Structure 1
């Protein structure tokens, strides 16, 4: 098993992330070649060795060749650039996931529709290169899991397009909601919105516990020469997963019996719960007192999402009360791989137990998309994926 671990003791930015992943082993020339697939001109990537407080690492800078030609872009412009490129589907998907996190945060800060968000720094070429570059590098490393430490946000104030703001900037504060953070180590912005969004989108688990051997340590160099080394440290961990490795996590099960709600409204409520981060949500038919047909609404979520889930249930249903139970979930080790078939790329989720592959499940959304595009059944696409896996 191969794990990428972000040690964000001094924060993270887009350029620090690129430097760290190049320092870890991503070929800089490969990254430049992949970035050229965006088919946009006006920037180039400079990579060099640098040092902060005695720590040597890699400095990656996206150089804008003519700042006067820079454009401010909306989300749809960025989506057109990414979707119109010849990058892999996995890279496109991950890059857009990062962009959308930032767009959602900006839309919420300014109380506007997401498509009306006017990207400033994030719509500039250097930030597009930082975010797409992050997706390229993570794909190139081929790790099974991405983990991270609590995120150092910094302190003081930061100057941005809308003026001087407290640290963390409003968008950053929204992006890291629900994630473990630290503040005050330095009196400047340690984590940028781009850095925060990369972690929020790509990290599978935040922890301070490392259970596998560190096989390589690397550093991405930041722009500041502060008292605390302005670097992003990353580790590559590698080793065998224990035969009995089953992850145990705490979760919360919320339940409510409902007997007087319009059935047409359940779909909207369930979608709201999933969009807010519910791990699962379902309806179970039951018979209540006096023989009344009813349903039990069940919602499974992380402990930190309980209040958000309760709010949706109370607002979107006719429930007058909610039962709350703390439970433990025992999860098999899982990983996601990308499988190339003649029709395109399909993500496949694989689960393991006692060191043995139990099953492989093609991602239904990918199969549906390829089936629709090629006039086939989903079964046909799934069979092609399974045949490729067994080849």
Structure 2
């Protein structure tokens, strides 16, 4: 298994990530530039040079915008784009499907974060800094670099968010900026070094959409190391380090699934209004829990009760425990770690006669064994076209040829 290990000890931004990926040497500058020609944007180019930060050699990657549509951190007169504008750019682009899908997911996630921060709906959101050409290229380029690297998974150490204030379209705000902070929920962070915005919205998006887990360097054989350089030279070497590891596997014992660990949190409740469980469950899912469910139980003195169970990553243990303690009537909960086995999966956007839907695929080794249509998309189409869910599912399943066997 090939693992990319990120070390954002001085922070992370899209240009730092791409620079580090190029510095790894898994693909050439020319190959990357050629691949990015599929993005439907004009008037930009690349500056890719070797440089030093506190004596550390790395690759300094920059997007050079040849028009007025750019972001320099101070001038906010550039064009603002809505989510629909960026999604249209991606749709028109001739990029690999997984690059398109990851980029679309990232911008939707950013729009949701912005909408939550400003208390408006998604359609009202217009991007400032991340709507600029250089930032769009940074996001798409990061996913292109991941695609070209062909790694099996991405792991990271805690991320340095920096401190102080940052000037943005909404004025001077504390670091991390509000939308960045929302994107970083559930991610372990540190704050070190000179006051500086060390993790940008594009950096947070890369972490949120690509990193499988956070912790120390995984066991394995180091294949290559790359450094992507940040703009400023601070007392910390302003660089992102990425290490490519080959985790050795016995060919005879290679598994068709992915082993891992999960935290299981449980609490028995017998004195809570059942209507209030929905709010607690929603908060747990919003925090990143993998699963939350309720079980009817009989408690002491033959009192009927409810067991709330939350399954989450090791990194989210304390956050999810806090949500349960604050949002249910329990005064304590149980926690245990369990082995977890999952199928490798991905998601694609498919066009149907009634509109686009997300199609989730699961793999047994390299073979697709399950395909399911995203429920939220089915529900949305069902409501818009007034078609019963069961009828709609059968119709789109037949149209897309969705199957769950070996054929």
Root-mean-square deviation over aligned CA pairs = 3.8
- In 2, Cα distance between equivalents of 1:87 and 1:373: 31
User: How far did 1:57 drift?
Assistant: 1.8
User: How far did 1:359 drift?
Assistant: 8.7
Contact 2:51-2:60 at 8 Å conserved across structures:
yes
Per the alignment, residue 73 of structure 1 pairs with 81
Contact 1:156-1:167 at 8 Å conserved across structures:
yes
Contact 2:163-2:197 at 8 Å conserved across structures:
yes
TM, length-normalised to structure 1? 0.79
- In 1, Cα distance between equivalents of 2:56 and 2:144: 26
Q: SS at 1:382's partner residue?
A: coil
- In 2, Cα distance between equivalents of 1:8 and 1:363: 35
User: How far did 1:254 drift?
Assistant: 3.8
Per the alignment, residue 86 of structure 1 pairs with 94
Change (3 A) 1:227 1:360: same
Number of aligned positions between the proteins: 371
- In 2, Cα distance between equivalents of 1:287 and 1:182: 44
Q: Which runs of 5+ in 2 are unaligned?
A: 71-77, 379-391
Q: SS at 2:403's partner residue?
A: helix
- In 1, Cα distance between equivalents of 2:122 and 2:358: 28
Contact 2:10-2:238 at 8 Å conserved across structures:
yes
Contact 1:285-1:294 at 8 Å conserved across structures:
yes
1:144 aligns with 2:141: no
Q: SS at 2:373's partner residue?
A: helix
Within-5 A mapping of 1:220-369: 220-241=228-249, 246-256=259-269, 261=274, 273-284=284-295, 296-301=307-312, 302-303=316-317, 304-309=319-324, 314=328, 320-321=329-330, 324-332=333-341, 335-336=344-345, 348-350=361-363, 361-365=369-373
Q: SS at 1:223's partner residue?
A: coil
- In 2, Cα distance between equivalents of 1:120 and 1:379: 37
Per the alignment, residue 38 of structure 1 pairs with 39
User: How far did 1:226 drift?
Assistant: 2.5
Change (3 A) 1:254 1:358: farther
User: How far did 1:215 drift?
Assistant: 0.8
Per the alignment, residue 317 of structure 1 pairs with none
Contact 2:269-2:305 at 8 Å conserved across structures:
no
1:108 aligns with 2:116: yes
CA deviations on 1:167-220 (whole Å, 9 max, x unpaired) are 222322222222211112222222112112211221001112421121100011
Question: Which of 205, 208, 216 is the aligned partner of 1:200?
Answer: 208
- In 2, Cα distance between equivalents of 1:373 and 1:92: 27
Per the alignment, residue 14 of structure 2 pairs with 14
User: How far did 1:126 drift?
Assistant: 0.5
- In 2, Cα distance between equivalents of 1:241 and 1:349: 22
Contact 2:184-2:208 at 8 Å conserved across structures:
yes
CA deviations on 1:273-321 (whole Å, 9 max, x unpaired) are 434422212344557899998865433334122233455x64xxxxx54
- In 2, Cα distance between equivalents of 1:329 and 1:363: 27
Contact 1:255-1:298 at 8 Å conserved across structures:
no
Per the alignment, residue 153 of structure 1 pairs with 161
Which range moved further: 289-298 or 42-51? 289-298
- In 1, Cα distance between equivalents of 2:200 and 2:272: 47
Per the alignment, residue 383 of structure 2 pairs with none
- In 2, Cα distance between equivalents of 1:49 and 1:183: 27
Per the alignment, residue 212 of structure 1 pairs with 220
Per the alignment, residue 23 of structure 1 pairs with 23
